[in-house]
Amino acid sequence: MKEGCEQEANAEQGLVGSPGAPPLVPGDALHCSPEEREVFYRIIAARRDIRRFRPDPIPDDVLGRILWAAHHAGSVGYMQPWNFMLIREKAPRQAVKDLFVAANEAAAALYGGERRVLYDTLKLEGILESPLNICVTCDTRRGGPHVLGRHSLPETDVYSTCTAVQNLWLAARAEGVGVGWVSILANDRLRGIFGIPESVVPVAYLCVGYPVEFGPVPELEAQGWGERLALDDLVLTERWPAEGSVRAKGSVRADGG
């Protein structure tokens, strides 16, 4: 087989062009060329959290591939605890927007002075502007009471769901689709809006659609709220550094931001 994305193999499998079918190859047949590797890292670098959307709907085949990517994330014990609730109707989205407004007021009150002024200028959701919202949930009961690998760390089901969200986010970027994660919400009230039972955790409420733009840097960086930490400061060797050492100094802001 030739190196690369193996389009011929896909054609043989009859998968090309059908909704939700990305270029599939057997795992051991994937060899990234330098160019493909570069594209992979470029997608990671170009992923952005999006809050401003164009109203155009996402075609079914594009959405299918994005959800396929999410569903192929790793999960503890192969639990696959996720569901993807597609929300297009206005009324529930308005209800979620109301939740956001209330939670955001409470969050804003945590800041004072210049930080508060800056916070109030930030746009932190695109719930109504985006054509699609997706609530990614984690069903804590899926797989029964004894999920392999989860016994000592029950929250690994939520960790697993987060890996699905990241797959979704990256696949969307590859498709030119923007995703904005809204966590400024009261989860119990979110459950109420969508009839989600107690045993299911709403992990990510996502606004999805074609973006006005993919900014060159995170919006919070462009707005002066924060900046990317130096990777070198985050890589530790062998053990946690001693208290007071340069590596342990941390980066907690006095104003909590």
Ligand X SMILES: Cc1cc2nc3c(=O)[nH]c(=O)nc-3n(C[C@H](O)[C@H](O)[C@H](O)COP(=O)(O)O)c2cc1C
Distance of alpha carbon 142 from alpha carbon 139, whole angstroms: 6
Query: Closer to ligand X at the Cβ: 229 or 242?
Result: 229
Distance of alpha carbon 184 from alpha carbon 102, whole angstroms: 9
Read off the tokens for 99.
């939740």
The yes or no reply on residue 171 touching ligand X (CB under 6 A) is no
The yes or no reply on residue 184 touching ligand X (CB under 6 A) is yes
Site for ligand X, residues 37 to 96, rule: CB under 6 A:
48-49, 51
Helix (H) or strand (E) holding 165: helix 156-174
Best CA proximity match to 125, nearest among 57, 180, 86, 169: 180
Query: Closer to ligand X at the Cβ: 6 or 175?
Result: 175
Query: Closer to ligand X at the Cβ: 62 or 203?
Result: 203
Distance of alpha carbon 225 from alpha carbon 59, whole angstroms: 34
Piece of 14-22, 25-33, 146-154, 177-185 that binds ligand X (CB under 6 A) = 177-185
Q: Exposed, middle or buried by CB within 10 Å (0-12, 13-18, 19+), for 189?
A: middle
Write down the least CB distance from residue 72 to ligand X, Å.
20
The yes or no reply on residue 138 touching ligand X (CB under 6 A) is no
Q: Which residue is nearest to ligand X (CB)?
A: 218
Distance of alpha carbon 76 from alpha carbon 181, whole angstroms: 23
Write down the least CB distance from residue 182 to ligand X, Å.
4
Query: Closer to ligand X at the Cβ: 6 or 93?
Result: 93
Query: Closer to ligand X at the Cβ: 69 or 182?
Result: 182
Bridging pattern class, strands 132-139 and 200-209: antiparallel
| 8 A C-beta contact, residue 151 and residue 92 | no
The yes or no reply on residue 129 touching ligand X (CB under 6 A) is no
Size of the site for ligand X (CB under 6 A): 11
Bridging pattern class, strands 132-139 and 82-87: antiparallel
Q: Which residue has the tokens 């804003």?
A: 108
Write down the least CB distance from residue 184 to ligand X, Å.
4
Answer for which of 218, 223, 247, 257 binds ligand X (CB under 6 A) is 218
Question: Which residues bind to ligand X, rule: CB under 6 A?
Answer: 48-49, 51, 124-125, 181-184, 218, 220
